[in-house]
Structure 1
Amino acid sequence: MTDLRRRAAFDIGSAATKLMIADIAGSTVVKELFAREIPVAFAIDWRQSSDGNLSDAIQDKGLSVLRSLIAECEAHGVPQAARCAIATEVFRQAGNGADYLEKVLKEVSLPVQVLSQQQEAEIGYSTAVALADVPDSVICWDSGGASFQITMRDGDGLQAYMGGLGTGVVTSILVQDVQGQSLSSKPTPNPVSSGEAEKLVAQLKSRLDEGPKWLKGSKVTAIGGPNSMFCIAFEALGKRHFNSTEICTVLNSLIGQSDEQLSTQAFCQGDLREAPGYILPKIALLLSVMEHCEIAEVHFCSAIGSCAGLLISARSRMISVLARQLERLRVRLVVNFMHGNVTKPLRGIEWYRIVDRKEDDSIRFSLGWDREPRSVTTMSQHAVFYSWFLLMTWVLKDHIPAFAQQWQTVQEPYLELGPAMWVAMRALQPWSKRERK
């Protein structure tokens, strides 16, 4: 298979960091070579903090986990340009979330794109499509440490039902709001009484938006790894299909159980499993959403986060995300070719200020560039250069041997990035009245 490519996808979630390495042909995962999910409790750490930041300890743990996973990329021969990474809810919420991802870029050379909840839903849907038996009719449910997304296809687009509830958030609600304690003084909610469990479910339902009509009576495909609430339900019931009545039975079986008692159960056995204190909050969230939205049945499909969807949708994601971000930023440039010096057209480009530095940084993370004082200039220069370079190389590759060889070199790392920049540049418009940097 001539177009077979080896790629790696990192999903840096609010509760765990995931990696999948696979051989890809087009939009198909031909062979999965490596898959692992390692718990890193970013969301819990953030909820415990007094200043809304991630602690140094959790940042160090996250970096250590990433170093071990990047070593797997090296061992499997995945080139740096073939590695993509996303980060989710907690890195949008934490005050130093962007700083941590910049540290990831500098220390382990891994550019990370922070996804919006809508983008999380899109990647999660792609994962379900890659795994489901009937892709055209799939409804995907993805739930993490700080949020969840339920998605279905609607014509050419997607409809999504989303909520800011995940393992870390629900555990915090149980300990702080229901039990009246703090996570720092009581790291586990166990044992949980029947009254506390009922109050938790009621609180969760009150925080959910009204369920959409397309979810009522639906059968949903839930994706997740060994620590997901769906996998816990599967291991507790011994089957992958379950309804809300069966989940209610699982929840009742957890009431009054200590950490020591729960640690002997199947859903706490094995390597890299999360602490028993998260078990009841996860099942409570599963039950709350199923009952609130009147979901008829959930089918659990094992997945390493959204890695499978990220692997097969990297091209469309990069094009749409970059073009949308640049348009939202309202980046503007004016091209003035210098008279008598057409051989150096880039010297005639004038750059203009954009106000939102955080948005600028998020684009730079997605492209893998270090932040620097003239970040806007560098970003725009790279966008113009790579778009121009790819276009001219493609035009000349059939006529000049050196360009043909160069095309073979650049198409692997830049073929997907180049069109994204080209689309983005088409959206740029002059903004000549702004002050220059």
Structure 2
Amino acid sequence: MLEIKKYAAIDIGSNAIRLLIANVIEETGKETQFRKSSLVRVPIRLGADAFVSGVISEENTQRMINAMEAFKLLMDINNVEKYKACATSAMREATNGKEIAEKILEQTGVKIDIIGGKKEAAIISSTDLSQLIEGDASYLYVDVGGGSTEFTIFSKGRIINSKSFKMGTVRLINNSKAENKIIFKEVQKWIEDNTKHLKKLALIGSGGNINKLFKMSGRTLGKPISYIYLNAQYQFLKNMSYADRISELSLNPDRADVIIPATKIYLSAMKWSGARKIFVPKIGLADGIIKSLYFKKL
């Protein structure tokens, strides 16, 4: 017997807000499958407000309300039976984050959960990471967002340690060089201390920027990107102007700037951990929300 359900996830990040609608396919005697049906991404850069002024502006508040109303209509059209909306570092750090969440609930009926870094990492790790982390190998999972980066170390199929750092792409663009230097040193120490005893470690990368870099590489899904390739791509992107990254590489305007600090984070994590390759399974918070909803972990 085959049954198909529709689940949705709303990921309210520091650089963009996403609605993922997925088909949950249940078939007797088979493992449940989760297939992406549609993904809508709206570039509302909440982090530019939250990490600079500490509050989300009225303009972006209204854009969020409009986005939630649109997402609710899209979920209705698609007959979505369950959904969850989660907000990360920008809403978490904005002094008016909770107030905005209440306003959105009142005006649109969409309830937003503002989650911490550890919960964010736990939701993401409930995705298809198991296909990569099986066996005796060790991995450093790096999820780069606009406001924070989540690091999780896996060895022999188990989580060894995890930590969330305020080192996101939007934050790095808005911070001073001195502030960025401090956070990079802090992350370097944590990675080196927690990976020095692990051999043949590889990275697993998630986030919109590494997905874009993987797509640009032309590699087959499942094949890793090397440190040498990623470093060459970083130098190439860094030497291009913002306008050229948009016109010549067809990057979205809200991707063309953050892809530089994102690539630097992945490269730094590879260097500090000794990893020579990075796997990009195309998973993220929205995928984790849907799986957590299905398995009743949220």
Tell me the TM-score normalized by structure 1.
0.58
Contact residue 19 and residue 36 of structure 1 kept, 8 A:
yes
Q: Does 1:127 align with 2:121?
A: no
Q: How does 1:101-116 map to 2 (within 5 A)?
A: 101-116=101-116
Residues 312-349 of structure 1: CA distance to partner in whole angstroms, max 9, x if unpaired?
1124433xxxxxxxxxxxxxxxxxxxxxxxxxxxxxxx
Q: CA deviation at 1:268?
A: 0.6
For structure 1, the 5+ residue unaligned runs are 179-198, 319-437
Q: CA deviation at 1:153?
A: 5.1
**Paired residue for 2:55?**
53
**Paired residue for 1:136?**
134
Q: 2:66 aligns with which of 60, 64, 67?
A: 64
Q: 1:279 aligns with which of 253, 259, 262?
A: 259
Residues 352-403 of structure 1: CA distance to partner in whole angstroms, max 9, x if unpaired?
xxxxxxxxxxxxxxxxxxxxxxxxxxxxxxxxxxxxxxxxxxxxxxxxxxxx
For 1:150 and 1:215, the matched residues in 2 are separated by 15
For 1:219 and 1:86, the matched residues in 2 are separated by 29
Q: Which moved more, 1:111-120 or 1:209-218?
A: 209-218
Contact residue 142 and residue 266 of structure 2 kept, 8 A:
no
SS of residue paired to 1:18: strand
Structure with the higher fraction of residues in helix conformation: 1
Q: 1:289 aligns with which of 255, 261, 269?
A: 269
Q: CA deviation at 1:3?
A: 6.0
Q: How does 1:113-192 map to 2 (within 5 A)?
A: 113-129=113-129, 133-134=131-132, 136=134, 140-152=141-153, 159-173=161-175, 176-177=176-177
SS of residue paired to 2:243: helix
How many pairs align? 282
**Paired residue for 1:403?**
none
Q: Does 1:96 align with 2:76?
A: no
For 1:312 and 1:136, the matched residues in 2 are separated by 19
Q: Which amino acid aligns with 2:145?
A: G
Q: CA RMSD in A?
A: 2.9
SS of residue paired to 1:41: coil
For 1:2 and 1:249, the matched residues in 2 are separated by 47
Q: Which amino acid aligns with 2:143?
A: D
Q: CA deviation at 1:41?
A: 0.7
SS of residue paired to 1:110: coil
Q: Which amino acid aligns with 1:123?
A: I
Call closer, same or farther: CA 1:267–1:247 in 2, change over 3 Å: farther
Q: 2:231 aligns with which of 232, 237, 248?
A: 248
Call closer, same or farther: CA 1:62–1:293 in 2, change over 3 Å: farther
Structure with the higher fraction of residues in strand conformation: 2
SS of residue paired to 1:35: strand
For 1:215 and 1:171, the matched residues in 2 are separated by 32
**Paired residue for 1:379?**
none
Structure number with greater Rg is: 1
Contact residue 124 and residue 140 of structure 1 kept, 8 A:
no
**Paired residue for 2:20?**
20
Call closer, same or farther: CA 1:119–1:277 in 2, change over 3 Å: same
Tell me the TM-score normalized by structure 2.
0.82
Contact residue 83 and residue 290 of structure 2 kept, 8 A:
no
Greater RCO structure (CA 8 Å; 6+ sep): 2
